[in-house]
Every structure is written in C-alpha cells, then in structure tokens.
DNA sequence: CATTGAGGTCGAAACGTTTCGATTTTTCGG
DNA sequence: CCGAAAAATCGAAACGTTTCGACCTCAATG
C-alpha cells in the first residue's frame, strides 16, 4: 500500500541513495536518471514519510501556536484574520502549523517545555503577550526560536510584530477634538495586556497634547468583549457629567458601546461619538458604520511567519521587528458635538 | 542537550527497553524500578521524541484540518467558535491539530492525497462540505478516516456533525407568520453549499406548511457575507411589493441586511423584521438585538473530534452521526407587521 | 532436588529517511 | 590508448523510538 523510497529504488533499479538525492534536487544525479526517477515516483504515488524525514533531519518543519484558553480567543475577529494570515504564509513556505491549547491540568509553561523537548515544532508564535511574559523568558533560556505578537516592553531584543497603538489612539483623540469634543472617555481591557496598555497611553497622550485634563473616572476597564462595551458605556452615561465621545480599545467593545447608547434612545455620531480599533470587517456593516483604526490583520499574520522564518533560517542571528502604524478610517459613528 | 531514552537508561543503569516500557506504563516492570525510572526521567527533563515514536508506531497522533482558501474563512465567527471547540477537544485527547490551506498552485485534492501519503495525520476534519464533495469520495477510496462538518447528502454512510437547518428555518418562518407576516424574503448563500441549501429548503417548507406562496423573486443568493446581506436587501426593498420580513441564512448576512434597512430610515423589527442563523455572540450586541437560531458552535467542534476519534479507534467500524437541532432565540429584530 | 513458571529485564531489529565516504563509471587531455 | 579528474552511483550508519522473543532469577510445586 504505502510507497517508500525503497520501492521507488526497486522499480527503477537504482539505489535508495540516488533516488533520495534525485527527489531532493541534488545536482550529482544525471539528468535523465533524475527524470526517470521522478516519473516513476509520481507514477507509484510516492510521498516521503515525514516522520522519518523529521527524525533524521532533526527539523519539524512546523511552527507552533499555543492559544491561551483563559479568554475568548477566536471570538475576536481580529485574531481570526491574523490566524488566517499565519496559515496562508505557512502554507506558502510548505510548513505545518500546529495549534494547541493547555488543558486544565497542564501548567501553561510546561506545555511549551514539552513541545520544545519533544521536538514537534521549530519555533513558536506567541500571542497575547503580557508585560514580563514568562514564556519569553523560558524560550530565551532555551534558546528556542519564536516571534511575539506584541512587544513585552520597549527594550525587547527578540523578534516581534506589533502595532503602534499609542499613535493610533492619539489619532482618534485628535480626530474627536477636532470635531469639538472635550469630554472623551476610554473603554479599555485589563492593562496587563500590552496591547491595551499602549492604546490607553495614546489616549492619555492625545488628551495632554490637546491640553485636556485626564479624568480617571472616564477610563473604564472591563474583562470581556461586547458585554464589557455595553456595561462600561452604561456606567459612563450614568455619570453626572457624561462624556460626548468614547474611544474603545477594539471594535467589539465599540459595537457594544454603540448598542448601549442606542438602547437609551440616543444617536451614535450625534449625541455620542464612538471610535473602535482594528477595523474588523463588521465595523463597516453596523449602523452607523464605525469610525475606527485600520489594522492589516491578515498581513500581520503573514509577517509573523516571515519573521519567525527568518529567525530560524538565520539561526537566531536575525531578529526582525515589525511595527505597524494604524490608519484612521472615518465613518459615521463620529460627528461634531 | 537533548535527553533520549538512552540517556535515561544510562543514568539508571537499566536497558532502553525497560525504560521505555516503564514510561509507557507496561505492567512487566517492577514497581520500584518504575518509580526510579520515572524520577530520573523527570529529573533529566526527558520527553519522548515524537518523530521517532511516530515513525515506529505508524501513527501521527494528529488530526488534519484543511481550510479552503477560496472564501472568507475565519471571518465567519461561527467557524471561529467551531474551531475553538475542535482545539479544546483535541488538547483533551492529547493529540495535535494540523491546520493548513492549499496554496495557489496546489490542487485541492492533491493536498489531501499528499497528507495521506506522507502520514502526517490520522484523520481529517472536513469543513464546508458541498453536494457531491470530491474529498469524501477520495477519502473513502483510500479508506482514510474522516468526519465531515455537514452531510453531503441524506444517504451519507460516513461520520458527520450537522445541523437540522431545515427545521431551524421552519421555526423562523413559523415565528414570522405568527407575527402576521405574509411576504417573507430569504437571503441565501450559493446553494452548492449543503448548509445553505438545507436552510432554504426549510424556508420553502415553512411557507408551504403555512399555505403561503413561494415567490422566487424573494429568494436572493449572494456570494459574500455582510456585503451580500446589504446588497441583497437593497435589491429586495426596491421590489414593487417589498417583503415585510427577511430570513437570512446566517447572522452576518442578517446584520448586513439590518444596516441596509436602517440606512433607508426604516426601523428593524417594526417596518421590516429580520432573522439570522447561528447566534454568534455579536448578534446579542447589535441594535436591535437579532432574533436568530442558536447553534452550539463550540460543542459542535468538540463533537467533530469525538466522532473522528471514534472512527479511528474503532478502525472504521463505527461512524457516528450527530445532528443538532437549532433553537429559536427571539430578540428585538422581529415584531408584528 | 529437579522442574516449572512467573516476574523482570534485556538485545536486537525495524520504522523510512538523509548523508558521509567510498566506489564505479565516464570523460577527456596528452 | 593511458591515466587522472570529474561525474554518477552506491552501501551503510544513524536519527530515537517500540516491540518481539529470549534470557535470567527465584520461588513454588511435586
């Protein structure tokens, strides 16, 4: 049933060595022997047994992606698009993507350790990096290739793909200030997440550069996605002096905020302006369409792979760092006061 | 650096065989030898080289998932949740998930063939099944384990997880008719997709069982997601005698429809009622909240794995088939005429 | 005391590649 | 037409497991 190198060797009357070298494109095989071998191989339906190859070459030809199970994960469309880019690029490289998640009993870090030791992957793609991420320390200790989605801090000397969230939020605040807004609130995720922290920083920078006061009561942090967006907004609208604009750290929070505003009979873009972050497909299809910061999620996914690939092929000498600056897309959820 | 069985054998003064059997829980090693070996193994940080094991055992301990690249894929939140369930269950089994996608030059089927031959996975999870799906024929030909998400037809004798979309859409139509609607339109995806076909069938059944005429001009098919929802709806509202209700084959289409309705200054749930399908998280957070059919996406993902697992462990003798009946969730996007 | 059998342990082969070094064949200048 | 260099091919070892059958030890049995 299964066709091996030996079978092809028999069928062609050549040695296993020669067949192997021919199929792998070495130049010390005569041109017509190569062709003969190739023809026979496809005729027999030969495909190399990857486990044997991996054992011998000590490479897995695979990247690993361990998704945290503590949060909503894929329910974030941005992450979904990012993943889609990762998969496309990996397929282009002819590699595999190995996705897993810690089970309850697994210690998180143990799982990484096990993956390293059992040689299942050549490198990791790290998502949802936090400040002082222990995974990064672990991987660096073991000198194991990886690329992070998001910096842990500003002095990172490893490869990553990140966004300039701070710049993005400054753009959003500038846009709202230009429209005449003075009381601008911010809906954030927990600040342990690098991503959220950077964006909030941009919010604060934006206010300050426009000479506006920073009012801590206008910054609310929620754990969940749409739900938080709605609840946080209700909380903000209940303030004695409610904001006229809300910047949310991602589109889902923004959409939750919009629904809370509309449920009170207010009009988004008129009574209260709202901005998001990520520019997920949906943000163009809610009503009113959402003003947001565009991030090329799919491309960033590809970039992650490219960077990791470079780290591995350069044997750790290169550690490419990519920073993407978001672009403000003005739609109808923001308007003059 | 890397620790092998031989290292553990040396460290304990035992043979490789014994160490292997001890770590794999065979009962022919003395209880204290086993403990000694286990202790030493963890002390040294031993983890089996999976590539060697796989070569020897001829099992990959991995499932494969090849996502089509021709459509939007992950931008469907339902699919994202499904995938999340798949990953959780696979992790519980201690297996791997191998995700890939055809590159442009790859013939779609060739990729499956290559995966089978190179022994990278023990079975496939098939998504986006179509009527007369060639992948199913291929896998059956090769006697290779798989589970399909969606039946190809009604006489399937392979393992699958599917929904009763027909029943679901009947529920939606009944609900709308009870509210007094008589002109009900349907926004579908291409009918080559089993999923869409079943749902449209439910729409037709529902009309007929309520003694309503089936008007072909009220059934529109679009290729894309939110965009199609919007465009199809505009087309419907332009009809000389427009519908008072729209059933969409998924939530994203429904949300697109809602935005088209609202853009014309009409009120969803009052002037035009809208229903969706899937009950993605978001549908509860748009305004008005969407009436839809709930599908347990995450659980269905787990079920896919469980079924595939059963197919493999039973050596193809068992081929579990699972059908999930959706549940109507009434929210505010539907109301009396 | 000799025999049996169970309980432990082990050596060696095999899984299907890749690759080093050696060997055979061809080419070609002198 | 010789001999050396270049081209083409090959044998065998190795990667790290699992597993079959053999082996050894020792207690129990007749």
Q: How far is the CA of B119 from the C1' of D9 (A)?
A: 29
Q: A275 - beta bridge partners?
A: A247, A291
* Candidate from A81, A103, A230 with C-beta closest to B91: A103
Mutate to test the interface with B, among A99, A263, A305 (most CBs of B within 10 A): A99
Q: With CA atoms as reference, report the closest residue to B275 among B187, B183, B167, B163.
A: B187
**Confidence grade of residue A80 (pLDDT, cut at 50, 70, 90):** confident
Q: What is the CA radius of gyration of chain A?
A: 26
3-state SS class at B33: helix
Mean pLDDT confidence for B330-335: 97
Q: How far is the CA of B14 from the C1' of C6 (A)?
A: 21
Q: What is the DSSP string of B208-239?
A: HHTT----GGGEEE-SSSHHHHHHHHHHHHTS
CB contact A226 to B (< 8 Å) = yes
Domains of chain B, each with CATH number or no CATH: 5-48 (1.10.260.40), 62-161+298-323 (3.40.50.2300), 165-295 (3.40.50.2300)
- Express each pLDDT in A221-266 by its tens digit: 877 666 778 899 999 999 999 999 999 999 989 999 999 999 899 9
For residues A207-218, average pLDDT: 96
B156 in helix, strand or coil?
coil
> Residue A85 pLDDT more than 80?
yes
CB A24 within 7 Å, strand D: no
Distance A44 CA to C20 C1' (A): 29
**What integer is the mean pLDDT of A13-39?**
94
Q: Give the C-alpha separation, A33 to A60, whole Å.
A: 30
**CA to C1' distance (Å), from A18 to C28:** 26
Q: Which residues interact with strand C by a CB < 7 Å criterion?
A: A 2, 4-6, 16-17, 20-21, 23-24, 46, 48-49, 52-53, 55-57; B 13-18, 21, 28-31, 33, 52, 55-56, 58
Distance from CA of A72 to the nearest CA of B (A): 9
Percent of chain A past pLDDT 70, that is, above it, reads 96
Asked if residue B73 has pLDDT above 80, the reply is no
C-alpha span between A35 and A15 (Å, rounded): 15
What the block records as the tokens of A92 is 């282009």
Name chain A contacts of B50, Cβ cutoff 8 Å: 118-120
Q: How far apart are CA A285 and CA B253, in angstroms?
A: 10
pLDDT at position A71 over 60: no
With cut-offs at 50, 70 and 90, classify the pLDDT of residue B325: very high
More confident residue, A191 or B114: B114
Confidence band, pLDDT 50/70/90 cuts, at residue A286? confident
Q: Which whole-number Å values give the CA distances from B230 to A60, B70, B99, B193, B264, in the listed order?
A: 45, 21, 32, 20, 11
Chain A contact present for B265, CB below 8 A: no
What is the spatial distance, in angstroms and rounded to an integer, between the CA atom of A312 and the C1' atom of C18? 20
Whether the pLDDT of residue A289 is over 80: the answer is yes
Q: Tell me the three state secondary structure of residue A14.
A: coil
What is the DSSP code (8-state) at residue B100?
Answer: E
Mutate which: A44, A50, A288, vs B, most B CBs within 10 A: A50
Sequence-separated (6 or more) residues with CB below 8 Å from residue A74: A80, A83, B74, B77, B80, B81, B83, B84
Nearest nucleotide, C1' to the C-alpha of A28? D8
Confidence at residue B74, expressed as pLDDT on a 0 to 100 scale: 63
- pLDDT of B72 above 60: no
pLDDT value for A152: 63
DSSP A263: H
pLDDT in tens, B186-240: 999 888 778 888 999 999 999 999 999 999 999 998 776 667 788 999 999 999 9
Question: Do residues B48 and A118 touch, judged by C-beta distance below 8 A?
Answer: yes
Cis peptide before A288 (omega within 30 of 0): yes
Q: Is B331 exposed, middle or buried (0-12, 13-18, 19+ CB in 10 A)?
A: middle
Helix (H) or strand (E) holding B137, with range, is helix B134-141
Structure tokens at A183: 């009381």
Contact (CB, 8 A) for B97 and B65: yes
Q: What is the pLDDT of residues A152-181, one digit of tens each?
A: 677 789 999 999 999 999 999 999 999 999
Contact residues, chain B, for A264 at CB < 8 Å:
none
Task: Show the DSSP H helices in chain A as ranges.
Answer: 5-12, 16-23, 31-44, 50-57, 77-93, 108-117, 134-141, 165-178, 194-209, 226-237, 251-263, 297-313
User: Hey, are the CB atoms on B73 and A84 less than 8 Å from each other?
Assistant: yes
Per-residue pLDDT tens digits for B161-182: 999 999 999 999 999 999 999 9
Q: What is the pLDDT of residue B281?
A: 84
Is the CB of B286 less than 8 angstroms away from the CB of A255?
A: yes
Please state, in angstroms and as integers, the Cα–Cα distance from residue A72 to each residue in A79, B298, B303, following that order.
10, 11, 19
Neighbours of B124 (CB within 10 A): 23
Taking a contact as any Cβ pair under 8 Å apart, which residues of chain B between 232 and 261 contact chain A? 252, 255-256, 258-259
pLDDT digits (tens, 9 = 90+) for B295-305: 999 999 999 99
Pairing relationship of beta strands A184-188 and A219-221 according to DSSP bridges:
parallel
């Amino acid at each position: 049933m299964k066709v091996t190198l030996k079978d092809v060797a028999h069928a062609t009357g050549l040695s296993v060595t020669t067949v192997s070298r021919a199929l792998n494109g070495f130049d010390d095989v005569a041109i017509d022997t190569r062709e003969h071998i190739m023809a026979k191989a496809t005729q027999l339906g030969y495909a190399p047994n990857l486990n044997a190859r991996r054992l011998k070459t000590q490479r897995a030809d695979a990247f690993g992606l361990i998704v945290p199970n503590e949060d909503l994960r894929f329910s974030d469309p941005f992450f979904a698009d990012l993943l889609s880019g990762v998969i496309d690029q990996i397929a282009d490289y002819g590699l595999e993507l190995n996705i897993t998640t810690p089970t309850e009993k697994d210690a998180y870090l143990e799982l990484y350790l096990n993956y390293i030791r059992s040689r299942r992957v050549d490198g990791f793609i790290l998502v949802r990096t936090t400040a002082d991420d222990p995974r990064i320390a672990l991987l660096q200790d073991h000198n194991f290739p990886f690329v992070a989605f998001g910096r842990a801090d500003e002095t990172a000397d490893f490869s990553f793909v990140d966004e300039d969230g701070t710049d993005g939020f400054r753009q959003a605040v500038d846009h709202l200030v230009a429209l005449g807004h003075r009381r601008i609130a911010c809906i954030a995720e927990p600040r342990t997440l690098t991503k959220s922290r950077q964006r909030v920083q941009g919010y604060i920078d934006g206010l300050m550069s426009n000479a506006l006061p920073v009012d801590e009561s206008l910054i609310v942090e929620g754990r969940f996605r749409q739900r938080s967006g709605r609840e946080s907004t209700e909380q903000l609208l209940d303030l004695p002096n409610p904001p006229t604009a809300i910047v949310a750290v991602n589109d889902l929070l923004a959409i939750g905020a919009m629904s809370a505003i509309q449920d009170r009979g207010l009009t988004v873009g008129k009574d209260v302006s709202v901005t998001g972050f990520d520019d997920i497909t949906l943000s163009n299809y809610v009503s009113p369409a959402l003003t947001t910061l565009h991030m090329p999620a799919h491309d960033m996914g590809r970039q992650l792979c490219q960077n990791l690939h470079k780290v591995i092929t350069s044997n750790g000498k290169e550690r490419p760092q990519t920073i993407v600056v978001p672009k403000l897309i003005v739609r109808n959820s923001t308007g003059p006061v």
